[in-house]
Structure 1
Amino acid sequence: MKEMLDAEILIDSPVIAAIKDEQGLAECLKTECQVIFILFGNVCNIGEIVKRIKDSGKIAIVHMDLITGLSSKEISVDFIKKVTQADGIISTKPMMVKRAKELGLLTIQRFFIIDSIALENSKRQIEVYHPDCVEIMPGIMPKILKDIRNFVSVPVIAGGLLTDKKDVMSALSAGADAISTTNRTLWKMQ
């Protein structure tokens, strides 16, 4: 399962559709985006959201921190794996990433880099928890993306505040393997 989001698929499909509502879900299924980040839902409907994405042949990654009704306990990861059959999870919480790795899910650890302390903390967490990918937010910081790229050997995803093709190209040029965005016009950039 982890092989599903390797560097090769990110090279072929470097724009990841991050969906935050039903309209975004419907629209992303019509795009060439192969990887979908699910940023909405609740314990009652997350299984159906994942099913729709997987039925369209795309990779479904659930953002654990944004699903209403899930706790911040590791058992929530077990729920996502067992009930939804999602391909992987995103979380800012290291223990969620650790549990997902134990269960064989693809793991993406999201980091908000707001200052030098956050940057150093993210590097320490990457060393300890070994996520399969890291997502750096905001994604419009080429210098920081280069620094992270030089530090990690896993795919780097830039997300947040990317508004146009220039932002996307800048992030990719700085070393990001892919970008994630809720901006639907960028989903068509493949």
Structure 2
Amino acid sequence: MRLKNTIIPSVREIRHLSLACKSKAPIILLSNTDIGNLASQADYVHKCGKQAFAHLELIGGFAPDSTGLKLLKNMYHLDGVFTTNVQAGNIAKNLGMAVVYRFFLIDSRSLKRTSEILRKNTFDAIETLPAYCAVQEFANLQQLGKGIPFIAGGFVRDKKMVKEIFASGICGITTSKIELWN
């Protein structure tokens, strides 16, 4: 996954999908959808020349098992997923989907636990939440990632913070703040 100072629109409301697709981002994150409208959203994203990713834990009516992930790839034509579920991430990866592993940096134990997960699994990118903690701990995080791109998300509030995140060396940001999408 190639990311360099990329802001990934996180689309929570379907009415903002067209705005997200007008952004410079190569990826659109569908972060609040359901199985009833996911196919049309992914199709729209593809028609706009972008990759469609979904947040696995926020797809209504969906089970992140082998059958569900095969449907996401073959019927819904998703290019990738964001997930905190290691097992689902590995299933998606084995199906040829791009996987962004998400984790919450709460304390040193969460960092240690994530280190163990990343030692045993390979993902296309890692998203650390909240973004402020990702910036503060980026030197430690880089040691975990073995050259994997890092994305920061959560509480990205303004352009100043965007600059700070990219200055730290983190290569991507997910945000639902429409005014930051460009």
Distance 1:85 1:156 in 2: 24
- Once the 2 structures are TM-superposed, how far is the Cα of residue 128 of structure 1 from its aligned partner? 1.2
Q: 8 Å contact 2:118–2:144 — kept in the other structure?
A: no
Q: 8 Å contact 2:119–2:144 — kept in the other structure?
A: no
- Once the 2 structures are TM-superposed, how far is the Cα of residue 172 of structure 1 from its aligned partner? 1.4
Corresponding letter in the other structure for 1:71: A
**TM-score (ref. length: structure 1):** 0.90
Aligned ranges 1:28-107 → 2 under 5 Å: 28-107=20-99
Runs of 4 or more consecutive aligned structure 1 residues displaced over 2 Å after TM superposition: 72-75
Distance 1:74-1:113 versus aligned 2 partners, 3 A rule:
farther
- Once the 2 structures are TM-superposed, how far is the Cα of residue 82 of structure 1 from its aligned partner? 1.2
For 2:72, what is the secondary structure of its paired residue?
helix
What is the aligned partner in structure 2 of residue 16 from structure 1? 8
Distance 1:174 1:123 in 2: 20
- Once the 2 structures are TM-superposed, how far is the Cα of residue 74 of structure 1 from its aligned partner? 3.2
What is the aligned partner in structure 2 of residue 148 from structure 1? 141
Distance 1:132 1:119 in 2: 18
Is 1:187 aligned to 2:175, yes or no?
no
What is the aligned partner in structure 2 of residue 172 from structure 1? 166
For 2:29, what is the secondary structure of its paired residue?
strand
Q: 8 Å contact 2:11–2:29 — kept in the other structure?
A: yes
Distance 1:149 1:128 in 2: 16
Alignment equivalent of 1:119, drawn from 104, 107, 111: 111
RMSD, matched Cα: 1.2
Q: 8 Å contact 1:19–1:38 — kept in the other structure?
A: yes
- Once the 2 structures are TM-superposed, how far is the Cα of residue 72 of structure 1 from its aligned partner? 3.5
- Once the 2 structures are TM-superposed, how far is the Cα of residue 21 of structure 1 from its aligned partner? 0.9
- Once the 2 structures are TM-superposed, how far is the Cα of residue 174 of structure 1 from its aligned partner? 1.7
Q: Deviations over 1:92-150 (max 9, x none)?
A: 00001100111010011100111111111111111112111000000112221232123
Distance 1:73 1:32 in 2: 32
Is 1:26 aligned to 2:18, yes or no?
yes
5+ residue gaps, structure 2:
none
Percent identity of paired positions between Structure 1 and Structure 2: 25
Q: 8 Å contact 1:62–1:89 — kept in the other structure?
A: yes
Q: Deviations over 1:1-34 (max 9, x none)?
A: xxxx32xxx22x6111111111221211222222
5+ residue gaps, structure 1:
none
Distance 2:66 2:136 in 1: 34
Task: Please say which of residues 110-119 and 67-76 is displaced more in the overlay.
Answer: 67-76
Distance 1:157 1:74 in 2: 26
Corresponding letter in the other structure for 1:90: F
